[in-house]
Chain A
């Protein structure tokens, strides 16, 4: 049973950075893609980027280029999302999600519970 457990809520000031974590259990993520998706209050879903759990290669949405970094620690079965230069409009729930299968790596079959990041002065 795949389970993704995310770190707790964060409150940050504009310009600050944040590191969110997502620990996988039940099945190694080495053979899977791990994604980050965010959802602003009352809004829809926005894909941010993903990391290949095996080789660590990453692909980020151009919208977030330079402001996010996705990394993984295979020994800890954990994926990280670093957010830089936070803005008020980055206030959102951030979800990690795992690809459904190796052949469907971007169909998001398993989700964490979400981490609320609030950016406020």
Chain B
């Protein structure tokens, strides 16, 4: 099983700042098979990024993904108030398709 470790666990920033979230895999993940999700309280997750760097439909371009191998990054260039949420990475290179434990992005 591929274990994903996200850091930091909590990130405190202000609107307008840049957010950098990390996801590290216990073994190599083909960059085609890494996704990022946003989840707000009481809601289902929303797909932001797939294939490590491709934005899903309707996702603003302030969200970007990068990385390969075992290290991946989600960057939010300028935080909007609606961006404060929990973010998860997911690998789907090999079953089981595991998620990271999440990073909570909170308003400073």
Contact = CB atoms under 8 A, between A and B. Distances in A.
Interface size on B, as a range, is 20 to 34
Contact of B99 (A46, A63, A100, A104): A46
A108 B99 contact: no
B72 interface: no
A95 B50 CA distance: 19
Contacts, number: 57
Tell me what chain B mostly uses at the interface: helix, strand, loop, or mixed.
Answer: loop
Contacts of A97: 44
10 contacts: A45-B39, A100-B47, A100-B50, A106-B33, A106-B92, A107-B35, A107-B50, A108-B37, A108-B45, A109-B57
Interface of B: 33, 35, 37, 39, 44-47, 50-51, 56-57, 88, 90, 92, 95-102
